[in-house]
């Protein structure tokens, strides 16, 4: 996006098209580019336009609003399929939770970015194949491969949404970073929507109970589930039509939580030593340890994506470098524990899945740490840090495909 803006800097019509196609990334990348082109009349105009603080909320066109409302209703209908068609909820939701809203988001981005027919065929072809495949797997309450496929399938769908987000520029690493930033913005916006919805729910149920109507089951069964299904769709629409709503919030969250997570991790590792906890023999503790690792990796991804969009400060880069280094230590402990368990008790689907995931995260962390170190020693620019994450995202997608489609066959659906 940055280079596209630079190329069209003297072409007002093309700049307007770029802005309308993706307002959030345009504003971010223009902010990075502006110090270099300050003094250009058109650039100065766009700087004033993009940074003008307005209290008005842009609700988009009537057509867009109608499409968002219809998409939200479709998501709610999908979420209600077990009730409408009498499908077993324990069968439906683990397998299909990602299909409630992720294909709709993919369709939204494909429409906004005018994705070409070949890319559309691949994205929705894989989604359709995944839908049939996951629902045709044998029903079982003890199958580890089924559980792993259900856990990894949303990751695959998330990657396909990212392909629609990138549009026809799938190889552009800046688009991948924009997608990570969008996810951060979406988390913030969706959380605000859910908090507001929770307050409204409490007030509504409370008011009706005062006049003798107990509407909890009816409310949660329809309004609640439709609201939950619609929240990420509405959140996406709001972040794209009003990027200023969370434009300054997400970087602040990244800057606050990076040092806090670093301190927490160091204290936690010390506490593990004093508590005598052993991830090598304690399976539940190892599971929690890996969940912690995934959470910290998400923080690193989000923080690096935010840091890479600007020149960045040395302090922020140091914090990210130290956080990555400590996370490598955590990953090393988790990886050695799973290798120990495989050596002692053999390979199982769960152990192999955790081993593969930990190895990928370790490689990615080493790459990120190397890029951060080079940035600190002025041997590379901040953009290289973002590339360290962006180039590795397809590897996670390939791993998700392996776990979803090959693990059940390889382990005979056990």
Residues 265 and 296 in one domain: yes
Query: Is residue 206, in this structure, part of any structural domain at all?
Result: yes
Q: Give me the half-sphere count of Cα atoms (radius 13 Å) on the Cβ side of residue 5.
A: 24
Name the more confident of 277 and 94: 94
Q: What is the pLDDT of residue 45?
A: 83
Map tokens 């996370």 to a residue. 327
Residues 96-109 pLDDT 10s: 999 999 999 999 99
Q: What is the dihedral of CA 390, 395, 400, 402, to 10 degrees?
A: 170
Where does the pLDDT of residue 377 fall: very low under 50, low under 70, confident under 90, or very high at 90 and above?
Answer: confident
* Average pLDDT in the chain: 86
Q: What is the pLDDT of residue 80?
A: 94
**Domain stop point among 209, 243, 277:** 243
Q: What is the mean pLDDT of residues 297-315?
A: 71
Residues 238 and 256 in one domain: no
Q: What is the pLDDT of residue 44?
A: 80
Residues 259 and 232 in one domain: no
Which uninterrupted H or E stretch holds 244?
Answer: none
Q: What is the pLDDT of residue 148?
A: 94
Q: What is the pLDDT of residue 312?
A: 54
CA distance from start to end of the chain: 46
- What the block records as the tokens of 82 is 């077990």
- What the block records as the tokens of 314 is 């040395």
Residues 318-347 pLDDT 10s: 888 898 899 899 888 889 989 998 998 889
Query: Is residue 55, in this structure, part of any structural domain at all?
Result: no
Nearest to 109 by CA among 47, 161, 180: 161
pLDDT exceeds cutoff 60 at 267: yes
Cα–Cα distance between 350 and 363 in angstroms, integer? 20
Q: Which range (16-20, 227-231, 389-393) has the least confidence? A: 16-20
Name the DSSP letter for residue 115: -
Cα–Cα distance between 236 and 242 in angstroms, integer? 10
Q: What is the mean pLDDT of residues 343-366?
A: 91
Query: Is residue 56, in this structure, part of any structural domain at all?
Result: no
Length of the chain: 414
pLDDT exceeds cutoff 70 at 307: no
Query: Is residue 214, in this structure, part of any structural domain at all?
Result: yes
Q: Which range (257-261, 310-314, 363-367) has the least confidence? A: 310-314
Residues 279 and 213 in one domain: no
Residues 238 and 255 in one domain: no
Q: pTM surpassing 0.85?
A: no
Where does the pLDDT of residue 48 fall: very low under 50, low under 70, confident under 90, or very high at 90 and above?
Answer: confident
- What the block records as the tokens of 332 is 């090393």
Radius of gyration of the chain, Cα coordinates, nearest whole angstrom: 23
Query: Is residue 126, in this structure, part of any structural domain at all?
Result: yes
Name the DSSP letter for residue 219: I
Residues 214-242 pLDDT 10s: 898 889 888 899 999 999 999 999 888 87
φ/ψ (deg, to 5) at 320:
-65, -40
Cα–Cα distance between 283 and 205 in angstroms, integer? 42
Q: What is the pLDDT of residue 53?
A: 55
For 121, the domain range is 64-243
Q: What percent of the chain has pLDDT over 70?
A: 94
Cα–Cα distance between 352 and 288 in angstroms, integer? 17
Residues 224 and 273 in one domain: no
Q: What is the pLDDT of residue 359?
A: 94
Q: What is the pLDDT of residue 383?
A: 66
| DSSP reduced 3-state for 187 | helix
Residues 181 and 212 in one domain: yes
Residues 233 and 96 in one domain: yes
- What the block records as the tokens of 371 is 């890029």
Number of domains comprising the chain:
3
Query: Is residue 302, in this structure, part of any structural domain at all?
Result: yes
Q: Which range (142-156, 227-241, 289-303, 371-385) has the least confidence? A: 371-385
**Domain stop point among 186, 221, 243:** 243
Q: How far is C-alpha 377 from the geometric centre of its chain's CA atoms?
A: 30
Distant-in-sequence contacts of 4-12, Cβ < 8 A, 24+ apart: 5/29, 5/30, 5/33, 6/33, 6/37, 9/37, 9/40, 9/42, 9/43, 10/40, 10/42, 12/42
Residues 151 and 179 in one domain: yes
Query: Is residue 304, in this structure, part of any structural domain at all?
Result: yes
Residues 123 and 39 in one domain: no
pLDDT exceeds cutoff 80 at 117: yes
Cα–Cα distance between 261 and 247 in angstroms, integer? 22
Query: Is residue 58, in this structure, part of any structural domain at all?
Result: no
| DSSP reduced 3-state for 279 | coil
Nearest to 413 by CA among 132, 143, 129: 143
Cα–Cα distance between 400 and 411 in angstroms, integer? 16
Residues 206 and 314 in one domain: no
pLDDT exceeds cutoff 60 at 133: yes
pLDDT exceeds cutoff 80 at 252: no
Residues 36 and 120 in one domain: no
Cα–Cα distances (Å) from 195 to 55, 216, 226, 228, in that order, read: 22, 18, 15, 11
**Domain stop point among 226, 243, 260:** 243
pLDDT exceeds cutoff 60 at 280: yes
pLDDT exceeds cutoff 70 at 57: no
Q: What is the mean pLDDT of residues 287-304?
A: 81
Cα–Cα distances (Å) from 326 to 62, 217, 319, 362, in that order, read: 50, 46, 11, 11
């Amino acid at each position: 996006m940055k280079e596209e803006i630079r190329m069209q800097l003297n072409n007002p019509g093309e700049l307007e098209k770029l802005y309308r196609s993706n307002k959030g990334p345009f504003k971010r990348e223009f902010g990075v580019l502006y110090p270099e082109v300050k003094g250009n009349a058109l650039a100065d105009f766009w700087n004033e336009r993009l940074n003008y603080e307005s209290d008005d909320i842009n609700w988009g066109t009537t057509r867009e609003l109608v499409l968002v409302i219809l998409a939200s209703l479709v998501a709610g209908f999908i979420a209600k399929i077990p009730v409408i068609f009498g499908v077993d909820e324990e069968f439906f939701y683990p397998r299909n939770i990602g299909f409630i809203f992720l294909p709709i988001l993919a369709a939204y981005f494909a429409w906004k970015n005018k994705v070409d027919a070949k890319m559309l065929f691949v994205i929705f072809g894989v989604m359709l194949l995944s839908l049939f495949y996951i629902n045709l797997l044998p029903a079982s309450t003890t199958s580890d491969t089924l559980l792993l496929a259900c856990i990894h399938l949303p990751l695959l769908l998330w990657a396909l949404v990212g392909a629609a987000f990138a549009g026809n520029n799938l190889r552009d690493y800046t688009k991948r970073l924009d997608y990570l930033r969008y996810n951060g913005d979406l988390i913030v916006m969706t959380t605000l929507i859910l908090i507001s919805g929770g307050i409204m729910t409490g007030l509504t149920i409370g008011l009706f109970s005062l006049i003798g109507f107990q509407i909890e089951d009816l409310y949660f069964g329809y309004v609640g589930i439709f609201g939950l299904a619609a929240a990420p769709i509405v959140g996406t629409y709001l972040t794209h039509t009003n990027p200023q709503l969370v434009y300054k919030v997400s970087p602040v969250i990244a800057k606050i939580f990076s040092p806090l997570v670093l301190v927490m991790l160091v204290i936690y590792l010390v506490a593990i030593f004093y508590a005598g906890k052993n991830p090598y023999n304690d399976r539940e503790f190892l599971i929690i340890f890996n969940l912690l690792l995934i959470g910290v990796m998400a923080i690193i991804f989000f923080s690096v994506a935010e840091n890479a969009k600007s020149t960045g400060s040395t302090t922020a880069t140091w914090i990210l470098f130290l956080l990555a280094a400590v996370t490598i230590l955590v990953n090393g402990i988790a990886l050695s524990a799973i290798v120990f368990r495989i050596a002692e008790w053999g390979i199982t689907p769960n152990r192999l899945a955790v081993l593969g995931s930990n190895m990928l995260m370790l490689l990615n962390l080493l790459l990120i740490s190397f890029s951060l170190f080079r940035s600190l020693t002025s041997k590379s620019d901040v953009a290289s840090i973002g590339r360290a994450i962006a180039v590795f995202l397809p590897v996670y997608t390939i791993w998700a495909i392996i776990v979803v489609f090959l693990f059940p066959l390889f382990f005979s659906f056990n």
